[in-house]
Structure 1
Amino acid sequence: MLLIIAKETNPKSPEMRMRLSDARDWYGISPKTAQNGLNNLRDLGLVHERKQRVKAPLSPTGSTTHFWYSLTGSYGTEARSALQSRANKARKRRDAAATHGPKSKQLAKPMKGNRGGKKKRANAGARAEGR
């Protein structure tokens, strides 16, 4: 559930709404597994759960509850954004250093032409004929 909530949340949408009954279709895990994962995250203090009461005229009670989840602490949206920003800056510095870094002092050696290549072939032919 940690990875699911992390994937579904971002700075523009810091919470995700999920019905446990949708866990199988959306993420391939059973509702019980999703519930166990949320319970574990709750016990560790890594998830915040917000309940939203919504009108539902067809419901016998006239309303239903939506559950919204967000990660907290070092896994929260703000913390992840800050880490991504730091990582992007470090990557840009690394790329700039690799592109504009110190030039190699060693120059490539000029290639030698095929000097005497014809002569060697001629001598090889003469040897083959027994000269």
Structure 2
Amino acid sequence: MQRDYRKVANIQHDIMQKFTTQLVEEYDKIVIEDLAVKEMQMTHVASKGLQRSMFGHFRQILGYKCDWNGKKLILADKYYPSTQRCSKCGHIKTGADKVGLNGNLKHGTKHNEYICYECGSVMDRDENTVYNLLALIN
């Protein structure tokens, strides 16, 4: 059992090393969210997935590889509203308009869709988030 666990851990670390190397070789600037992983693990919904995600390890490896290769790692503040801000018009959802892990009950939207209640833009939530993070590069 322990040997199997070690084998899986070694595969995960190898993938992490190869992926971060590829990112650093291909891009001069990389933006990631500075997530409060410890706090997020306290919420029952995301806890198990976050423990397995190795996000902290990913950030650490990416950070030292960026430093080593003279690349820029930009950390979006954990309070930056990347998932709540419309990448088209800049409107930021607040209160009952926010989109959470279960979508938005008030507006009947799903977790993976972003609908701006200001300009009417409709897009994938992850795509909207990426555009918001890319805006931090400039």
TM interval, short-chain normalised? under 0.3
| TM-score (norm: length of structure 2) | 0.21
Rg bigger for which structure?
1
| TM-score (norm: length of structure 1) | 0.22
More helix by share: 1
